[in-house]
Every structure is written in structure tokens, then in C-alpha cells.
Structure 1
Amino acid sequence: MVHDKAAFADDVDFDESLDDLPTDAELEETVANLEDRGFEVVVVDTAEDALAEITDQIPAGASVMNGHSTTLEEIGFDDYLAEGDHDWENLHAEVFAIDDDAERARARREAQTADYFLGGVNAIAQSGELVAADASGSRVGAYPFAAENLLLVSGTNKVVADLDAALDRVENVAYPLEDARAQEVYGVGSAVAKQLIYRYENDEGRTTVVLIRDEFGF
């Protein structure tokens, strides 16, 4: 089931000023600063373009894992991965087919080292920093080092003025919306428990940020 912002926006109090789309000039500055910090950046217009971009980047035979991302759900990646119309090793399916809790947790940790790990971020500063937060850390744990290659997908509504605004967006946009989603799906709320500020990528070509010129995700 896809859980987009529209499903919660009427019932959740969040700071809509931190969810506006950037101007073309602001987006151009953001892309330039991300690239200066070592991130590969691709800007696309639609969800379909984003899905094509990330699936084209993953070679046959690669092991693939993804952390939860509303944006990945919205662009259709979760369905694409589950349907098996690819030649990848689907680590997500392998992990969640394990019945034993301890064994599943161990496999989930090992899957952080996938050839390609996919996820999203909760905020992007125009100055080029990426900010992502989790309750468990099962998503952001792969980002800094564990995954061999990292593909991050985001709507440009997550672009904000600077790092302070990015941290504010996590607390005042992403958290209340994700908390509502978690309560609906899991029956318990979420938390900003483990947070990553991704300032630089020093491994050339490792991390690609796909930006969609529209509102996606929390």
C-alpha cells in the first residue's frame, strides 16, 4: 500500500512552509552544491522517469536492498522489486521471508552491505547537505559506508534554504507525517532516534541523488 502525504495531510499538523517546491534557481544552486560535495545528481520530471533512472543504474546480478521510503513506494519501485521483473538478487524479499526474529535481524544487518542500497532522505539543504532520520536506523545505517552503491530518491519539496532548515524539516514535516504513517501501519508511533547529516561523499560515483521536480515523500 502506498502511503503518500495526501493520506495524512488533513489530519497532521506540519510546517507546510518547509514543504514548498524550490524555484529553478534554488534547485540549480542545490544541484551544484550537491555535486561539489561529491554526490552524483540526476534531476527528472516524473515518477516514471525516476523509476527508469534508478532501475537503469542497477546491473544484472547485483544484490539490491532498500530501506523504507514513501518516495520509493510512490514511484513504484517497491512493486517493481517485488514483481521480479529484473535480474537482481532481492535481499529485501530474502530478509523478510525469514521467520526467526533473531535470524531476520542478522540478515537485515548483513543486507546493509548490498551492492545497491536504495532509500530516500527527509531534507536537502541548498548548501548541499542531505539529512535523513530513522527510528531504528535500518535505513540510514547503510548510507555512510556499508552499501557499495547508494541510490537516494527525493521530491524537490524536500529542498530547503540551509542545514538549520533541513533539521527543522525533519522535526516539523517528516516526523509528524511518518509518525502518523507508523501508527496506521504498525500501531505504534515513530521517533527521530537516529539521524544522519550526510555532508560529503568521498567515494567518487558511489552515491547518486535522483531529484524529482514535484512533491514526493515526507
Structure 2
Amino acid sequence: MNPNKKWWIDINLETLKKNLELRNFECFIVDKKEDIVPLLEKIIEKGSVVSCGGSMTLFECGVIDFLRNGKFNFLDRYKEGLSGDELGEIYRKSFWADYYIMSSNAITLDGKLINIDGNGNRLAALMFGPKSVIVIVGINKLVLNEQEGINRVRNIASPMNAKRLSKNTPCTSSGKCHDCLSQDCICSHIVVTRRHPVKGRIKIIIVKEELGF
């Protein structure tokens, strides 16, 4: 990595870590995506009930394969052949999980999580339910402030996710948000998590690489 880019990342992540901790989040910083699974092995107790939110980041880091290795009771939303009712049951059971793993659409330098959801199950679990939540984010999700974070989610993350899910929305044609109310809209809920009342319940792993959308 270019030394000037490394300097910029390191100095901003140092600031971000302090701000996250002020908001009752626990923060871990790793150099590369290959560092994530070894860290999760230390955090997650074997035999725990584990679930996850929809996330390309988790696939890119090998987290889904790790959870399927038999050491955990994994509520696998990505299992082939699930019916709509079975997927809904997994969503509901996730609220009683020991660990819930997800990414965040954006994270502000002052320590806020910015997320937009279609169904809202991921954000509901982030706010309340599972005993512990682990949020994995790449350096590309770091933004300066709350407004920049919302703009990033609406005009970068959401159009790409809508395209990935083959949604019939204006953003899949133009590549930018139209603030639509279409039946396929995946932007039903906008949540800013500015702190958590339970210190350490939300653990944030920041990776010095670009991950996900």
C-alpha cells in the first residue's frame, strides 16, 4: 500500500476507534479480510446460536463458510431451497441468537452506523434481540458525516444491491437513487445508530480493505 494512503487510513481509523468506544461500541481493526475469521474464532463461543444479515461482505471474507463448519448452530438464511415461510422463520429466530453478524452500509468518522433496509430484519436485530452483534465493514464504508453516509447508501450501496437482487427499481437503470416507492424498493427503513445503551454488545470489526457495496 502507498505509504501516504496507509497514513491516511491509520490516522482516521485511530480517530474512529476512539469515537466508537465513546458510543459504547467495541472496536477491532484488522489489516486484511483474511484476519476476520481468526478473530471471529476468538469472539464466538463454539456451540452458539449464530445468525447473519444479508451481506456481500460476509461472503467475501469467508464468514458464511466459517459459520457452516459445524461448530455453531447457524441459522443459515442462504441455505438452498428455503421457502419464503422458512426464511421468515429464520429471520424471527435470529432475535434469540447468541451472535448476529452483519455489515453496515456506512460508518461515520464520528462513530455512527448508517443503514438502509428493505424488510428491516437486519436493522431490528442490530437494535435489539441477539445477545451480541458483530458488524464487519471495509474501509470503503467510512464517510465523513451522517449526510454523506446516507448519500453513499442511497446512491452507491442500494443501487448495486438492487441490481444484485434483480429488483425492478429506477436505480437499477440509472445507478442512482430516485427516492422511489416502487414495489421492489429495498429502501424501506433508514436507521442511524448513534450509540448503544449496552456497552460492548455491538462489536465492530473494521478492515483496511474495500469490502462489499
TM bracket (short chain): 0.7 to 0.9
Alignment check: 8 A CA contact 1:180 1:189 kept:
no
Q: CA deviation at 1:138?
A: 2.4
Paired residue for 1:92?
76
Paired residue for 2:29?
43
Cα distance in 2, alignment partners of residues 68 and 22 from structure 1: 30
Paired residue for 1:198?
193
Q: CA deviation at 1:96?
A: 5.0
Point out where structure 1 has 5 or more consecutive residues left out of the alignment. Answer: 1-20
Given the alignment, which residue of 118, 143, 148 partners 1:135? 118
Q: CA deviation at 1:110?
A: 2.1
Paired residue for 1:60?
46
SS of residue in 2 equivalent to 1:65: strand
Given the alignment, which residue of 77, 91, 95 partners 2:63? 77
Alignment check: 8 A CA contact 2:9 2:208 kept:
no
Alignment of 1:1-218 (within 5 A): 23-82=9-68, 84=69, 86-92=70-76, 96=79, 101-102=84-85, 104-183=87-166, 191-218=186-213
Alignment check: 8 A CA contact 2:24 2:198 kept:
yes
Cα distance in 2, alignment partners of residues 107 and 214 from structure 1: 30
Cα distance in 2, alignment partners of residues 190 and 73 from structure 1: 23
Point out where structure 2 has 5 or more consecutive residues left out of the alignment. Answer: 1-6, 168-182
Paired residue for 2:179?
none
> Cα RMSD over matched residues?
2.4
Alignment check: 8 A CA contact 1:124 1:130 kept:
yes
Relative distance call for 1:50 and 1:107 in structure 2 (3 A) is closer
Relative distance call for 1:39 and 1:134 in structure 2 (3 A) is same
**TM-score, normalised via structure 1 length:** 0.80
Alignment check: 8 A CA contact 2:76 2:90 kept:
no
Identity between Structure 1 and Structure 2 (%): 29
Q: Deviations over 1:78-117 (max 9, x none)?
A: 12222x2x42111226x95786643542342122221000
User: 1:181 is aligned with what amino acid?
Assistant: R
Tell which has more relative contact order, 1 or 2 (C-alpha 8 A, sep 6+).
Answer: 1
